[in-house]
Amino acid sequence: MNAVNAVAEIRNLRVEVGGRAIVDGVSLRVLPGRITAVVGASGSGKTTTGRALLGEYPAGARVSGDVHVPDGPIGYVPQHPGAVLNPARRVGALLRDIARAQVRHLPYRARRAAVHERVLRALSSVRLPDPGAMLRRHPHQLSGGQQQRVVLAQALLLGAEVVVADEPTTGQDPLTKRGIVERLAAVAREGIAVVLLSHDLDVVRTLADEVVVMRDGRVVECGPAERLWRAPRHPWTAELLSSGSGAARIGPASGGEVVLRTGPLTARHGRTAVLRVPGLALRAGECLAVVGRSGSGKTTLARCLAGLHRNHDADILLDGVPLPRSLRDRTRRQLAAVQYVFQDAGAAFDEHRPVLRQVARTAVRLRGAAEPDALAEALAALTGLGLGEDLVRRRPGGLSGGELQRAALARALLARPRVLICDEITSGLDTVTRRDILGTLAGLVRDRGELSLVLITHDPAVAASATRVAVLEAGALVEEGPVHRLSSAPRHPFTARLMEEAAGQGTHLGDHGHGRAGMMPG
């Protein structure tokens, strides 16, 4: 690259927190109209490097090196968009505030129309359906993928010369992901520099002009994307690129007894029905993947099962006994039996307490374990998921998003649940760690026998690891069945489109063999 033409540049950046360098000697140059991707394992320093362009660093960090950015605003799309959206304000108010700042030069009478036009254009550009309805909603009424697109719309409204996109396709279905990829490519064609921080190697392969590979806070390789994909020079790069194919199969040799059953379920936000599905049944030792577009109702279904969304009219039975609709009314045994791992793991932790103690607290509160025993069990679970003792003794702010996802999984497992609901738990993980986590889940199902999984996912490789798949579209269950059948002979047009998109990403949902009965119409 030509440093003279760089619109943003980092030189020899070192960021040290608590005596440990989380970024060490990193240099990065970004040109207008080019997409620079930064890839690497969770905790490698990608987000810290990207946020340096915004002038933001972890609390108490010691920083050295040079960071040069343009005078104007820099757009930022964070990994967990809900953290930057004001929960008390509607989406329309959030976007109109930004748009008004861009049209202050216009006469008063012309401003309102200009603001409205800009907001609708931004929502359309990120492919948010039904903009009128979206503008009236609060952030908590949007799915994770919808929140992400709202934040991207904010960045576009700012008119930034540089956009830092931190996992912009996390939590997106293949169809929506294509739209985000097309939009980021269009942003670059308009002359905007894009810094893409991503674990999604399919997206990186499609978009990136340059790729920077990080590991343990250092750059181990960088260069033109075409060269790096064709001939990686560092062993870690080669492992990262080769680990995207194949995932451990999660499922039993035969179906067990029904653990969780629902009647016909209609869930609502206020008075609006957002989900309608027939009765479902989950058997012991089985894995159901729930797939569909962002906003199709996947997370709402999962939250109903977990007692986190009580505005529904279904009976949910655990071992034949009705569960209270609200989490607050469930007993400790019932709470332990159905555990939920959130997509935004950071929001599920108390920022003021060490991660290890928060994980151990689950065993104390739900199982009555003694605190020393709980701490030892928590540490074993965390290290088993690749998190070192030094790391988990920190507060949540000292861990990356992917590391917090693994910690959240360990915390749920300490409850020794019968049903484990995982909401996009691999979306913030690199391909190597994702493969290992799916292998861990497969081992748990195999060893415990009684553990059943519900995987909310947009990732075809994750869905391929399940025994059965349920497909949601616009709040309705349009198809459900064994993985191999949906892949080879989908019965609904939307399922066929999802399968085509999965095949386009190099993953066929039937790649991992034939499943047996899993989550079935009840």
CA distances from residue 388 to 349, 355, 356, 401 in whole angstroms, order as listed: 18, 12, 10, 15
Where does residue 71 rank: exposed (0-12), middle (13-18), buried (19+ CB within 10 A)? exposed
β partners of residue 37:
196, 211
Q: Please report the pLDDT score of residue 164 as a whole number.
A: 94
Q: Judge contact between 395 and 354, C-beta under 8 A.
A: yes
Residue with tokens 């009128």: 132
SS (H, E, C) 136-182: HCCHHHCCHHHHHHHHHHHHHHHCCCEEEEECCCCCCCHHHHHHHHH
**Average pLDDT of each block of 10 consecutive residues along the chain (522 residues)?**
72 91 94 94 89 91 94 83 85 90 82 88 79 86 80 83 87 72 84 91 91 95 93 90 64 73 92 90 90 87 93 93 92 96 87 96 96 96 92 89 89 95 82 80 78 87 84 90 80 80 52 33 34
| Span 179-196, pLDDT tens digits | 778 878 888 888 889 999
How far from each other are the two terminal CA atoms of the chain, in whole angstroms?
60
Going from the C-alpha of 522 to that of each of 5, 261, 262, 362, the distances in angstroms are 62, 7, 7, 32
Residue whose structure tokens are 């040109």: 31
Alpha carbons 410 and 402: distance in angstroms, whole number: 13
Structural tokens at position 339: 């555990």
CB within 8 A of 507, min separation 6: which ones? Answer: 245, 460, 461, 464
pLDDT at 320: 93
pLDDT at 445: 80
> What is the token pair recorded at 398?
């000292």
Residues whose CB is less than 8 angstroms from the CB of residue 16 and which lie 6 or more positions away in sequence, other chains included: 22, 61, 62, 63
Neighbouring C-alpha atoms within 13 Å toward the C-beta of 346: 16
Give yes or no for a contact between 250 and 426, defined as CB atoms under 8 angstroms apart. no
Q: Which residues pair with 175 in a beta bridge?
A: none
Task: List pLDDT tens digits, range 229-260.
Answer: 999 999 999 988 876 555 566 765 456 789 99
Whether residue 289 contacts residue 468, with contact meaning beta carbons closer than 8 Å, is answered with: yes
Question: What backbone torsions phi and psi does residue 250 show, to the nearest 5 degrees?
Answer: -105, 110
- Bridge-based pairing of strands 520-521 and 287-292 is unpaired
DSSP secondary structure letters along 83-132: GGS-TTS-HHHHHHHHHHHHSTTS-HHHHHHHHHHHHHHHHHHTT-S-HH
Q: Cα separations (Å) of 98 from 57, 122, 367? A: 24, 11, 49
Of 368, 443, 358, 373, whose CA–CA distance to 408 is shortest? 358
User: What is the value of pTM for the model shown?
Assistant: 0.69
